[in-house]
A and B are shown apart, each in its own frame.
Chain A
Amino acid sequence: KAGVTQTPRYLIKTRGQQVTLSCSPISGHRSVSWYQQTPGQGLQFLFEYFSETQRNKGNFPGRFSGRQFSNSRSEMNVSTLELGDSALYLCASSSQPTTDTQYFGPGTRLTVL
C-alpha cells in the first residue's frame, strides 16, 4: 500500500494570506489527524477527522480549519497567516476510529514571510 501523502511539500506565503494543505491517507484508512511541528512548541495536535466528521480539535485559533472528503482525503486551511504559523504540518492516518496506530505523512513545510 502507498503511504500517507501530503501536498505541497513546501510552501512560502506572506502574512495575511491563506493556505490550503492536502493529505491523502493510506488506502482504506478513514481517520486523518493533523499536527503542527515547530522547534519551540514541538508536535501539537490540530484536529482529527473520521468519516468526514471532525471529532476532536486541539487548542488552536479558529483561523485553523479542516475538512475531510468522502474518499477520506483531508485538507486543512489556515487563514490570515501570521509569522508564527511557520511550521511543518503533518498529517497521520489510522484505520480504526480510536487509539489506533497513526502513520505520518512527510509533512508540508510552510514558511510565512
Chain B
Amino acid sequence: GENVEQHPSTLSVQEGDSAVIKCTYSDSASNYFPWYKQELGKRPQLIIDIRSNVGEKKDQRIAVTLNKTAKHFSLHITETQPEDSAVYFCAASPGANNLFFGTGTRLTVIP
C-alpha cells in the first residue's frame, strides 16, 4: 500500500519568515495530494491540494509543488503569521476516496 513520509516533525519560524514542509510517497498510482491543517482540538481543514497533472499550485501565501518523477511534494507558506501555528498533514490518494497521511508537522510561528 501507499506509504507517505513527512519532514520535519516540528518546525519553528519567526513571524514573517517562510516555512517549508516536505513529503514523499511510494505508490506511483497516487494522483491526488491534499494538505490539511489541524489546530488543537479541531478537525483537519483542507488548505490546498494538487493533482498529478499539475506541477505547482498557489493560493495567496500558500503554495504546493509536486515532482512525480521523484515522488515528492512540498508545502510552502510565505510571510508566516502566528495563526499559521498548527499541525500540518500531507496526504496521498491512489484513487477512490482513501487518503494516506504523513505523520504531521507541528509548525510554531514565533511572534
Q: Counting CB contacts under 8 A, is B96 at the interface?
A: yes
Q: What bracket does the count of chain A residues touching chain B fall in? A: 20 to 34
Q: A33-B97, A98-B96, A99-B31 are in contact. Are A104 and B49 (CB under 8 A)?
A: no
**In the bound complex, do residue A103 and residue B46 qualify as a contact, i.e. CB atoms below 8 Å apart?**
yes
| Bound-complex Cα distance A42 to B98 (A) | 15
Q: Contacts A33-B98, A48-B97, A98-B97 given: A43-B89 contact, CB under 8 Å?
A: yes
**A-B CB pair tally, cutoff 8 Å:** 66
Within 8 A of B (CB), among A44-59: 44-45, 48, 50, 55-56, 58-59
* Chain B contacts with A in 27-70, Cβ cutoff 8 A: 31-32, 34, 36, 42-46, 49, 51
Q: In the complex, which residues of chain A have a beta carbon less than 8 angstroms from the beta carbon of B101? A: 35, 42-44
What class of interface size applies to chain B in its complex with A?
A: 20 to 34
- Indicate which residue in A35, A44, A50, A104 contacts B45 across the interface (CB closer than 8 Å): A104
A102 lies within 8 A of chain B by Cβ: yes
**Cβ A97 vs Cβ B89 within 8 A:** no
Q: Which residues of B contact A (CB under 8 A)?
A: 1, 31-32, 34, 36, 42-46, 49, 51, 89, 91, 93, 95-104
